[in-house]
Every structure is written in C-alpha cells, then in structure tokens.
Chains A and B, each alone.
Chain A
C-alpha cells in the first residue's frame, strides 16, 4: 500500500526535482512526491495499489548529484536535489530496456498488447532503435491451460506486478518467481500450468501486467484502448456489485476491467471480467409464437390472452434484472391470478423476519447489526465465515476475507462441505451438525463467560468464542437458509456488539422489496423472465416450464428453455439494461446502458407494462 496515506499533519519536507521546488510529506517516496507535483518519472514495475519493489530501475533518479536511487522505493528527505531527465539516466534506462528486449522475444507487430504496452512506450521514450545486447531467442511455450488467461512469458520482463496483484489485491498468492537466478520466471503454485493451479481466473494479473505476457484470449486483437470508449456499469452476477469499466469499440465489447481507484483495487472475478463476455449462445432478436417469427404486437397479444385465460400463472424473474424491471413485473402480475418466484427473495424475507424479531427482543437497531460497507470487513480482528461457498458466489468479498486473513485478522470458517478457505483459516470448523448447533453453543459459551469453555461440547466452539474478544464480523454465505442459524448468528452479533455481512443467493437485494409467493402446483401458464440466466437458474425455469400448458419466456439468448417455450419475447442483455440494483451492503448502484440494444426491443420494462394493459 501507498506510503502516502500518513496524516497530513506530518512534517513537510522541501526538495528540488529537475530544478523545481517541491513540497512533500515525510514518509513519501520520491516518486509519490514527484507525481503530486505533476512531474513525470518513468516507471514499469510500480503499479497502483501495490507495494513497491524497485525491480525495473526505470524510475532511477540522481540524488544530490552523487548517487542513483530508484524513486519508487526511496523516501524523500529535506533538501534533496533530484534529477530525473538527464541523458546519463536515460542511458541507464535504455541499457536496462535493451536487456529486457534481448532477454525475451518482443515482436510488437504481432503482439496483442501492441499500442497499449507500457514496455513498448518505454522503448519509444528511451529511443530504443537497435539492441547493443546480443539477442537470446529463448524458446518459451505459451501457457494456454487457463480458459481465460493466457500466459506468454516470451514477453515477460519480470516486473512482478502480477505476483503482487495476486497476493496483495486478490489475496490468492497463486503466482511466484520460480527457478532462481538467470532462469527466473513467473510460475503458478509449484510450477504447474495455470489452468491446474490455485488460480481463480479473476484476471486481475492480466489487468496489472504492463506487457503482452498476460492477456485474455477473449479480448486479444479486438482493439487498442485508445480506440475504445469506456462506460461504467454495475456487475449483475452477484450482490458485491462491482463497478465494471466496459471498453467498447464499433458497437462491440473489447474487454471489462475493474476500477483501480475503488476498494477492490481493480480486481473483478471470473464472472464479472470474463463470463459476461463469454456467453456464446445465440441472441434472440425477434419475438416468436409456436416457433414462427411474429410481430411484437402479435406476440404480446398472444401472451396477454394466455395470461388472462389461465386458471393461474406461475412467474419467475431473474435476479440479474434491475429493481425497476422487477417492480414492473410485480405490477403487471398483480392484474392476474399469479405467483412469482425470484432467486434470493426467500432468504431476504427470512432475514427481514429474523431482524424484526431481534429488534423487538434485544432492543437493537437492524442498521447496527449490519456492516456499513463490504470493504470494512477487512478491518475486523476476527472474521467468522459461515459457508465458504462465497469463494464461488461472491469472489471479491472472498478476496477481502483472504486479504484480512493474510494480515492480522483471525479467520474462522464454518462449513458443512469443502472448506474453500481452509488454506487461509486459523480455525476451520467442519460441521456434521447443522450450523445452528455450533452458533448456539458459541452463544452459550460467550454469554456464560470463560468458565463455560470447559463444558463446550464442540472443541472448536472454544476457538470461536475466544476470538470474539475484539471487533468481529460474521459473514453469512448463500447456503445458510434456516431461521435457527440466522437467529443465532444475528443474536450473537447483537450480544457481542459485532456486525453481520449477509451474502444471500440473490444478486440484487432489491428482491426483498418485491412481493413473492409460493408457486401454484396446477397453474396453466408459466411466465418466465429469464433474461440472460444460465446454469441453475435456467434449470429451475425449465422445471417450471415443464409443469405448465403454456410457456411465455422473455430471454436474451436461445437455450433449452426457449426451445420449449410457446411464446418467446426478446430481452435485453446485461450491457443494454438501465436501472438500479441494490448490493449486499444496501447501496443503490446504477446499471448503465453500455451499448444500444441489438434486438427489436428497447426496454424490458415496456414489454412487461404492455402485458398489463389488456387484462384490465
């Protein structure tokens, strides 16, 4: 982390950089002071949010005319006289660059990074037009074992940005330097192919790599950054609600990156960075009835008739959709004899009930029981994670947990299946009993004080109880679905004056405000607002479709579901939607249109509203 975060009150120092007087703060590096003063010092291995290691020597500066230091690792001192832009320093830099060029195989004309490459820019700045160092031509095979991240160490300059990103930002520690000495290269785990390593394919190292050594085949050769427009929106894949920076060029998406100024430090997860781009299913652009393409008005007419005439309607809506779309659906369905199911709604409702009960019982404010911000959990002394499935369902929060555990925080994990955070946990509690049992005992022990420790039936309970002395946060994963566990956890948080972060299965917490009900067993019509759902969500909808006589599907792409639908209406893709979504810490997040819709419709909401009109 930056050394610049010290308090402003600290003593100021004055130094001179290339003849300019610069004010700096004690503890800042020369690089930080220069940047604040708007003076450019060339860098390669330094990167936003990462520690500084002084590996590339591009930031070499002359101090007091007598010695050269790397500006990224040297602290300012009062009265320093710094030179950056001298011929001698550029000669040093050029020599370093020639060694990087000669050591590996840089063929810019067919490199995916060409045009966006920081190394190439540096070659240009240093005026590298030939190499005085004999060229090596090392024979290095690219590692294509990971579906989304290609590692072509042919172009690696050993700056270590990827290693530090995986370690300090993602908290995963997959990458390392291997084969010491001249043979030093980047390796995954104990030098296994990336696709077989502990890598979670978050792509954060790809974003951090200054060269073409790490890239995603999903984005390769689709265009240079400078020819792209960038729109930001909110990820629809889980309730962390990461901000996506979507790069587009000529109406198509080139790549998705994370915001480096945000709390996640530029990271996204596999779902947000890659899977959103990798949906290869055919797009639905036109409405269909009984397999024939029809006018939108006709399709809507048919759907209205089916909804009106049905003895009952079972509806399902994707929780990837914005609040406004879900509300429109709710309103339309209120005109019919309909029930609606939305993933995550059940858990959200249960949670509200539990919180309401506790509020009355224990005299606490719900707001005091919930974490203020997702990111704050890193500051806890103890983290207790119920259900480590968050590694798959809420990966960026899982990275906060790992980062904290890699630091001072004590991590306790409680899981009844595979503990996916075992590598990072101080205490890993495997459950054969329901989670509630453990928490109940913890609660007992906690309330009774230390003398109860000896009596605790589960040894691990002792660990948890002991850890609750400082600031603790309880993280509830998506699989926690019983009222008992929830009461216990929230109750324990209330009595121990701690917070809970609830990560339910719902991607959009706005589902809590949309009334849902149990579906009818014999409803004749299924109205499925599938959007771009896939996997389990789609399976559930197929199950509902099978039980109905008439199936209305509103979907973005073709699937087994649209194949069995009687009426198919097109739906927007994630990058075409607009509205708001509510993330796990109850923030309203904007869903922005990135590209204009390709299909025949401009708004899911309007179609839903039109379905309502007839019924009256």
Chain B
C-alpha cells in the first residue's frame, strides 16, 4: 500500500469533531487552543472537521461529535444548533452559555429592541440603521437568549466560563474512546 492510503486509513479511524460558536464570545474556543502542545496529541485521535479558529469550514459538516459554544440568541443560532444535532451523533454543550445560559443571557432582563437601539445609539447617520434583523443579511435576535438544551437534545455538558483546557481535552479523549466523560469534582466549574 502507498503512504497516502495509510494516512487515509488513519483518517478514517479518527473520531471526527465539529465545533460551532453560537451566541458566545469565542472564549471557549480560545481556551480550546490553550490545550497547546496537547492539541498535537489530540489530533492523533480526533479529526477536527470544523472549528472556526482551526479549520476553514463555515458549515456544519457530518461528524461523530458536535460541540457548541454559546447560547441560542438569534435565528441563525437555532439553525446551526439544529444542523449540529442532525449532522452529529453526540452533541456537547461547551461552557456556561451553552450549558447553563452564561453571560449572554444577561440581555434577557431588557427589552430586545430597546437594547438594540441603545447599543447602536439609534441611527448614527442617514446611511446606518439599527440592526433589528428585519431585513435579509443579519439574523434576527430572539426575544431571549437561552441555553442549548432548550432547542436541541444535548448529550454531554462541560460547564465553566470557560471550562479548563485540560477538562476540554480529557472530555474529548473520553468521547473519542467511546466513553461518557465524567465531569465532576474539581473539573466542574461555573466561573
């Protein structure tokens, strides 16, 4: 066999992983990069097929494991979350936002449109508009930001704002081995 087919065979053995960022700050994805050298070991077992800081893939491809950071806060998030559920066997909620609602849901205490007005300070000039999302192009904000499991079934929760890189790594390794990661004790965190 040629060297190339060897590599392909190895590829096919690896667990495929897609990560998406919903209404999050990308902090979880940043922390994922903090796995640092450990990422080199990790990619021996997993094949990262989508992850906005690592690979150039904008959609939600088929994968064994689908990971979401962030709350569901706009219409696009709902579509992406649903695609994740549809295309992936196991769905993981990463971070406090996806698992428990997190910082992004602080907006729930205000009226959505008033908040947008205030954030964008009304119309700055004749050309600009407050992005209410009524037109094509910008996804419309939902009335409330809510955790992932209010929209789709979630199999594994990894809370933390963000979770520790080590916990992310260990949980992915466990999933790649076909086990359910045990996140308890010191590994469980809310800050």
Contact = CB atoms under 8 A, between A and B. Distances in A.
A418 interface: no
Contacts of A101: 100
Interface residues of A, number: 20
A130 B149 contact: yes
A249 to B, nearest CB: 18
B103 A135 contact: no
A115 B106 CA distance: 21
B96 interface: yes
A108 B146 contact: no
A113 to B, nearest CB: 11
Contacts of A1: none
Nearest to A114: B191
A75 to B, nearest CB: 33
Interface in B109-147: 109, 144, 146-147
A108 B191 contact: yes
B102 interface: yes
Interface stretch (B4-12, B38-46, B73-81, B180-188): B180-188
Interface string B139-160: 0000010110110001001110
Interface in A451-480: none
Interface string A64-108: 000000000000000000000000000000000000010000111
Contacts of B103: 107, 109-110
Interface string A122-133: 011001111100
B72 interface: no
A115 B191 contact: yes
A221 interface: no
Contacts of A137: 105, 108-109, 144
A106 B149 CA distance: 18
Contacts of B183: 127, 129
B161 A108 contact: yes
Given A109-B191, A120-B190, A124-B188, A129 B99 contact: yes
Contacts of B96: 107-109
Nearest to B98: A130
Interface residues of B, number: 28
A261 interface: no
B105 A129 contact: no
A134 interface: yes
A128 B154 CA distance: 14
A227 interface: no
Contact of A129 (B146, B185, B188, B191): B188
A110 B159 CA distance: 15
A569 B144 CA distance: 61
A131 B184 CA distance: 15
Contacts of B93: 130
Nearest to A134: B150
Q: Is the interface of A mostly helix, strand, loop or mixed?
A: loop
Nearest to A111: B191
Contact of B185 (A114, A124, A128, A131): A124
B101 interface: yes
B147 A130 contact: yes
Contacts of B161: 108-109
A518 interface: no
A139 interface: yes
A127 B109 contact: no
B109 A109 contact: no
Interface centre among A108, A129, A139 (most CB of B within 10 A): A129
Given A107-B106, A131-B147, A114 B190 contact: yes
B150 A130 contact: no
Given A107-B106, A135-B147, A127 B191 contact: no
Of B93, B99, B101, B144, most buried by chain A (CB within 10 Å of CB) is B101
Interface string A120-163: 10011001111100110101000000000000000000000000
B157 A129 contact: yes
Nearest to B160: A109
Given A109-B103, A127-B184, A139 B109 contact: yes
Contacts of A114: 190-191
A129 B158 contact: yes
A131 B98 CA distance: 11
Nearest to A131: B100
Contact of B99 (A120, A130, A139): A130
Contacts of A130: 93, 99-100, 147, 149, 154, 157, 159
Nearest to A124: B188
Contacts of B102: 107, 109
A109 B160 CA distance: 9
Contacts of B188: 123-124, 127-129
Contacts of B185: 124
A141 to B, nearest CB: 10
A108 B191 CA distance: 5
Interface of B: 93, 96, 99-103, 105-106, 108-109, 144, 146-147, 149-150, 154, 157-159, 161, 183-185, 188-191
19 contacts: A107-B102, A107-B103, A107-B106, A108-B96, A108-B161, A108-B190, A109-B96, A109-B103, A109-B190, A109-B191, A114-B191, A127-B183, A128-B188, A129-B100, A130-B154, A130-B159, A131-B147, A137-B144, A139-B109
Given A107-B96, A109-B96, A123-B188, 13 more contacts: A107-B106, A108-B190, A109-B161, A114-B190, A114-B191, A124-B184, A124-B188, A129-B100, A129-B183, A130-B100, A135-B146, A135-B147, A137-B105
Interface of A: 101, 106-110, 114-115, 120, 123-124, 127-131, 134-135, 137, 139
